[in-house]
A and B are shown apart, each in its own frame.
Chain A
């Protein structure tokens, strides 16, 4: 029963209709097209494209990735071709697929975010994901995502400039992630995604130099999963908007933990590098789990963790 199978996994996140609850995390799946030799993009829940800025960015110099125990660190530095290139040349290619495209936007000022939202509003995409882990140049480089007021200001500005669903991606590098979640929800976020990478560092003991060109980088992969599940669980209890959970998902079992913790959808990130088929494999695994348990809808599992 194809139809029943399809409806089993279908989710609607703030108006973004997805065939499966498994999305690809920003920065780990390029613009989707890079993986089209391996994956039928129409089978992916949604593609969140590479972090996009107003002007093209060349990113950081020096070494950009380092493997860590059950994980990796990166300091790509938001290299991207800029929003106009995306709208003019990339989006028309993605439009050939029946998959929602979500653009992850990054800025250094509140105005940058507003301008990005305005330019992307009529580009044919399904939604925006606001990366608030960027430095706020007017606040001495402190990340928007570490200050509830700055984060709210960004979200209000984006909401003002777009009619698209707005997902806000939270940074785990904060003392209280719930505080940030409540702030962005109050500012108008339609959904919340978490977690972004955890700030890390590795040192080469032969040279006494940092391994990464940028000295520090974002840790991702299975190593961060317990932190991510905990944060999703905490945030899910505190907000009403849907949550997209991510952080180290490699398998359907990992994804189910996030869903039980309160995520309505999940994203696979680092795992794409390891298994190019992972977004489809995880969705199939979730379907098998639901079938074996006699469940009809993935939504039946959301937030069902029993903490006694």
Chain B
């Protein structure tokens, strides 16, 4: 059995920047077989009926030796608001690792992330350690772009864009992509971020004939392919489940 459902103890929980938090929990059963792009489905308290459902979070880092998982999350609603109250020593319930992650076969990978989509790419970048990756990252403003510090040790080149021009290139993440693809030969693009960004990345990747993987997100209840809340059409005609067939898909499989 590779998927498990375990009680995990919080060992670190702090604000990274603004409303983004870092949560580190001990879950050796999950940390020992997590692949980049997979996620955990968490429940804060075993006895609460409200909020009722689990919440999926991408795994931003894992350390099999220490048995730890790192989640980076932004406070966006009631679930994440309650999550901020967790203290070291508290426990949460974690189901995982769930989903199909990234194909890490690239020799010259280009990572493209927007906003919180940069969280799962961190673990991916680490997986490429012997083949240093390039990352193109974007966000609304300088305050949101605290990510270069996190990526400094795992990526060789970091390109930054911001919507308001307060840091890096003034514009959207995809604006810089054609230039990067012209300058350098990449064999796979790995993207995670808002749907509109992914759509743009997929189109440019197709134009430059570079294989591209995208990590999608959707509302989900079960996380294991049972409830069919998160299904989507695919170009093959087969219905895809974001939770099990994905969240990572080849861009050409996705009906944009």
Contacts and interface: CB of A to CB of B under 8 A. Distances in A.
Q: Indicate, yes or no, whether A interacts with B.
A: yes
Interface of A: 27-30, 34-35, 37-38, 50, 58-59, 63-67, 69-72, 74, 76, 79, 221-222, 250, 270, 272-277
Contacts of B233: 58
A65 B229 contact: yes
A34 B229 CA distance: 14
B231 A79 contact: yes
Contact of B219 (A63, A70, A274, A276): A63
A34 B225 contact: yes
Contacts, number: 91
Given A58-B239, A64-B230, A273-B223, 7 more contacts: A38-B224, A58-B233, A76-B227, A79-B228, A79-B239, A250-B49, A272-B222
Interface string B1-30: 111110000000000000000000000000
A210 B26 CA distance: 39
Given A59-B231, A63-B219, A274 B226 contact: no
Interface stretch (B51-59, B66-74, B156-164): B51-59
Interface of B: 1-5, 43, 49-54, 95, 219-231, 233, 239, 244
Contact of A65 (B2, B43, B221, B224): B221
A34 B51 contact: no
6 contacts: A29-B226, A30-B224, A35-B226, A79-B239, A221-B49, A270-B52
A38 to B, nearest CB: 6
A178 to B, nearest CB: 29
Q: Pick from B2, B43, B220, B221 the residue with the most CB of A within 10 Å.
A: B221
Nearest to B238: A81
Contacts of A79: 228, 231, 239
A37 B3 contact: yes
A64 B222 contact: no
Contacts of A64: 219, 228-230
Nearest to B243: A34
B91 to A, nearest CB: 15
Report, nearest first, the 5 A-B pairs whose CB atoms are least far apart.
A30-B226, A34-B226, A37-B3, A273-B221, A65-B229
B3 A67 contact: no
Given A34-B222, A272-B222, A67 B228 contact: no
A34 B225 CA distance: 6
Contacts of A38: 3-5, 95, 224
B29 to A, nearest CB: 12
Contacts of B225: 30, 34
